[in-house]
């Protein structure tokens, strides 16, 4: 008889593979010319508002020099605006531009369309199962 721990390990492995495949496929649907790191930094700025490069690096869990290069590229491409920090002349504040917001919106739209098309291929029972699973997966991702 299979133990509960073995069943959970088997489920963990199956979920890991499925989530990784879906994530990889969703990344392929991006319309962006940016790297995943650049896209993530841009999305972080959009979500949290203007921040210093150190704050962005902390959110992204990368070293500040790496984020300096990422933001420099995003600024050159017109997706981020850099301006002096109002009280600390050694720091810079970065903010998403309208072009950056449009790029992120286009990426999300493309991925949502792709996923909507895939969902249309599923049965009503499969859709119901995914409706129940979505909040559980979200909770797993947040833990």
pLDDT-derived band at 31, boundaries 50, 70, 90: confident
> In the chain, where are the structural domains located?
9-142
71, burial (CB in 10 Å: exposed 0-12, middle 13-18, buried 19+): buried
pLDDT at 99 (0 to 100): 97
Share of the chain above pLDDT 90, in %: 78
Distance CA 140, CA 137 (A): 5
pLDDT at 1 (0 to 100): 53
96-137 tens-digit pLDDT: 999 999 999 999 999 999 999 999 999 999 999 999 999 999
pTM of the model: 0.79
pLDDT-derived band at 3, boundaries 50, 70, 90: confident
Return the half-sphere exposure (C-beta side, CA atoms, 13 A cut-off) of residue 14: 6
Of the candidates 42, 47, 46, 64, the one whose C-alpha atom is nearest the C-alpha of residue 55 is 64
pLDDT-derived band at 142, boundaries 50, 70, 90: confident
pLDDT at 2 (0 to 100): 65
51 φ, ψ (degrees, to nearest 5):
-150, 160
- The predicted model gives 65-90 an average pLDDT of 94
Question: Of residues 135 and 30, which shows the higher confidence score?
Answer: 135
> What kind of fold does domain 9-142 have according to CATH?
Arc Repressor Mutant, subunit A (1.10.10)
Distance CA 87, CA 36 (A): 32
Mean pLDDT of the chain: 92
pLDDT at 48 (0 to 100): 97
């Amino acid at each position: 008889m299979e133990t509960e721990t073995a069943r959970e390990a088997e489920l963990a492995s199956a979920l890991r593979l499925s989530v990784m495949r879906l994530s990889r496929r969703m990344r392929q649907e991006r319309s962006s010319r940016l790297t995943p790191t650049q896209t993530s930094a841009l999305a972080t700025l959009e979500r949290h508002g203007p921040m210093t490069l150190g704050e962005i690096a902390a959110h992204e869990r990368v070293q500040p020099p790496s984020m300096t290069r990422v933001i420099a590229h995003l600024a050159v491409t017109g997706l981020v605006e850099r301006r002096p920090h109002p009280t600390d002349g050694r720091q810079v504040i970065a903010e998403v531009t309208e072009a950056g917001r449009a790029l992120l919106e286009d990426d999300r739209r493309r991925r949502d369309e792709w996923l909507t098309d895939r969902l249309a291929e599923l049965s009503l029972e499969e859709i119901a199962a995914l409706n129940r699973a979505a909040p559980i997966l979200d909770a797993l991702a947040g833990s």
